[in-house]
Amino acid sequence: MNNLDHLYREIIMEHYKNPRNKGLVTNDDYKSNRIKNPSCGDDITIQVLVEDGMVKDVKQEASGCSISVASASVLSEIMIGRSVEEAKKIVDTYINMVTNKEFDESVDLEEAAVFSGVKKFPARIKCASIAWVAFKDSLE
């Protein structure tokens, strides 16, 4: 598999075409965080509902490239039902993985593991991490 095939995995394309938990809610209980990347035009909003230290719900609205849209979708799907602590650990592991740093392989990234191909494309790290950074900010 060449670098590009490793980047554009089937799961990523599937999320790009059918993004999960898409659409924002108007509910003040959700913490909302919007990040725009002016250099590429990505525009991503993540909404998180935290109750009793648990991520109860995640909503997302993303426009941009396939990697940023799919990573927002995958994020929303795997984070619902996690404890805040667990969620933060997964974000850190994921960010280390896509930035080609050492990461804790014992942490199960589930579907987000398919973004490992991003590390061969330093220019796309931002695409893969923008939603995750927005999500983590919402947990603080």
Partner 1 sequence: MKENPWIKDFPQLNNHLHYFDSAATSLKPVSVIEQVNYYNQELSSNIHRGMYYESQKATELYEEARESVANFINAQSNEIVFTRGTTASLNLVARSFGVNHLNQGDEILTSELEHHSSLIPWQYVANKTGAKIKYIPLSDQGRIALDAFKATISKATKVVAINHVSNVMGYLTPLKEIIAIAHEYGAVVVVDGAQAIQHIPVDVKSLDADFYAFSGHKMLGPTGIGILYGKDDLLSEMEPIEFGGDMALDVMKTQFSWKESPIKFEAGTMPIASVIGLKAAIEYLKNVGLDNIHQYTKDLYDYLIKKLNELDGIELYNHHSDTFIFTFNLKNVPSHDAISYFSEKHIALRAGQHCAKLIHDFLNINASLRGTIYFYNTYKDVDVLVDTMKEAIDYFKKLGF
Q: Is 99 in the site for partner 1 (CB under 8 A)?
A: no
Give the nearer residue to partner 1 in terms of CB position, either 58 or 69.
69
Cβ nearer to partner 1, comparing 7 with 55? 7
Nearest to 41 by CA among 65, 69, 61, 22: 65
Work out how close the CB of 66 gets to partner 1 at its nearest, in angstroms, rounded to a whole number: 5
Which residues does 113 contact at the CB level (< 8 Å), separation at least 6?
Answer: 97
How far, in Å, CA of 34 to CA of 49, rounded? 15
Q: Give me the 47-86 binding string for partner 1, x by CB under 8 A, dash otherwise.
A: ----------------xxxxxx------------------
Determine the interface stretch with partner 1 among 22-30, 35-43, 88-96, 100-108 (rule: CB under 8 A): 35-43
SS (H, E, C) 35-85: EEECCCCEEEEEEEEEECCEEEEEEEEEECCHHHHHHHHHHHHHHCCCEHH
Q: Which of 57, 82, 74, 85 is nearest to 130 (CA)?
A: 74
Q: By CB under 8 A, which span of 25-33, 86-94, 95-103, 120-128 interacts with partner 1?
A: 120-128
Residues near partner 1, by CB under 8 A: 2-4, 7-8, 13, 17, 38-42, 63-68, 121, 123-124, 127
